Amino acid sequence: MTPQNSTATEPASSGSTEYINHHLQHLQVSVGDGAFMTLNVDTLFFTAVLSLLFLGVFIASARRATAGVPGKFQTVVEIIVGFVDGLVRETFHGRSKLIAPLSLTIFVLVFLMNFIDLIPVDFLPWTWANVYAATGHDPAHAYLRAVPSADLNTTLGMSLAVFALTQWFGLAHKGPVGFTKEIFTAPFHANGPVGKVALAPANFLLRVIEEGVRPLSLSLRLFGNMYAGELIFVLIALMTLDASLAHISTWLMGSVQFVAAFAWTAFHILIITLQAFIFMMLTIVYLSMAAESH
């Protein structure tokens, strides 16, 4: 989708720097004395809305499912469910009723979070600025970032949840003794007790590095791609910032802007789908590794 003209978004801003900073600023609320915690309200709001949308669509599909020829809506949902279920069966070799629903939730929810990036970059901020102005506030301070996955707090939070679930899976499938033993005896093995004790520090260090890198790479990969995509849309919108319709350069740059936005949107559709798939697949792989013994 082509970004709308950027002049409608920031009534009080001037210049590209202010425009970019405005689009990259979250709607925040401080909690506690001395700003103990700052909440990104826009991230929480859109995450909640998309979660309810996901639940509503799939619950409605499950209730309306028929054994005969499915409708278009049911067909799309069944394709997604079958696709995810097939990947789980191929990748996860243990038994768990949690893996398939978890993987489906991650894939669809991350995709929906990423999909907001395809909405024209000025539409939602412009809408919020008008609502903010209607309540008697300065629209120049009406900040809004609508893509939850472009917020590191979101991606890191999901990655830490996957990390905690991975540890729980390891404990549940191997028991406390087997789980602890594996930390100090893999990947390097030794036959005698002396060798096991000598290799234990190296195994423990490698395990800490391995487990610590996973949530970081999982969160930063998704965040980096979505943040970059959001920023590129903002930069494309700058092509006609404060442009005059009476000048021929506006029409020339507008044409370039349309082509650039269309091309990046088409490419970005692949990115948002791929990132949702990667996050889901790595989650399945990590849980499968946690459930299997070395």
User: Is residue 213 one of the residues assigned to a domain?
Assistant: yes
User: Is residue 1 one of the residues assigned to a domain?
Assistant: no
User: What confidence tens digit (pLDDT) does each residue in 25-36 have?
Assistant: 999 998 876 667
The verdict on pTM exceeding 0.75 is: yes
Helix pair 193-237, 16-23: axis angle to 10 deg: 130
User: Is residue 132 one of the residues assigned to a domain?
Assistant: yes
User: What confidence tens digit (pLDDT) does each residue in 89-137 have?
Assistant: 998 877 788 899 999 999 999 999 999 999 999 999 999 999 999 998 8
Catalytic residue list contains 217:
yes
User: What confidence tens digit (pLDDT) does each residue in 246-282 have?
Assistant: 677 777 888 888 999 999 999 999 999 999 999 999 9
Catalytic residue list contains 221:
yes
User: What confidence tens digit (pLDDT) does each residue in 194-229 have?
Assistant: 778 888 889 999 999 999 999 999 999 999 999 999
pLDDT of residue 222: 96
Q: Which of 6, 149, 225, 288 is catalytic?
A: 225
User: Is residue 271 one of the residues assigned to a domain?
Assistant: yes
Alpha-carbon span 278 to 249, nearest angstrom: 42
Distances (CA, A) of 281 to 9, 129, 222: 38, 38, 13
The phi, psi pair for 268, rounded to 5°, reads -70, -25
User: Is residue 63 one of the residues assigned to a domain?
Assistant: yes
User: Is residue 275 one of the residues assigned to a domain?
Assistant: yes
Alpha-carbon span 60 to 54, nearest angstrom: 10
Q: Which residues pair with 40 in a beta bridge?
A: 28
What does the H/E/C string look like for the chain? CCCCCHHHCCCCCCCHHHHHHHHCCCCEEEECCCCCEEEEHHHHHHHHHHHHHHHHHHHHHHHHCCCCCCCHHHHHHHHHHHHHHHHHHHHCCCCCCCHHHHHHHHHHHHHHHHHHHHCCCCHHHHHHHHHHHHCCCCHHHCCCCCCHHHCHHHHHHHHHHHHHHHHHHHHHHHHHHHHHHHHHHCCCCCCCHHHHHHHHHHHHHHHHHHHHHHHHHHHHHHHHHHHHHHHHHHHHHHHHCCCCCCCHHHHHHHHHHHHHHHHHHHHHHHHHHHHHHHHHHHHHHHHHHHHCCC
Catalytic residue list contains 225:
yes
In the predicted model, what is the mean pLDDT of residues 178-188?
A: 87
In total, how many domains does the chain have? 1
User: Is residue 98 one of the residues assigned to a domain?
Assistant: yes
User: Is residue 39 one of the residues assigned to a domain?
Assistant: yes
pLDDT of residue 173: 87
- Domain residue limits at 276: 6-291
Q: Which of 130, 217, 244, 293 is catalytic?
A: 217
pLDDT of residue 10: 41
- pLDDT at position 232 over 90: yes
User: What's the mean pLDDT when you consider all of the chain?
Assistant: 87
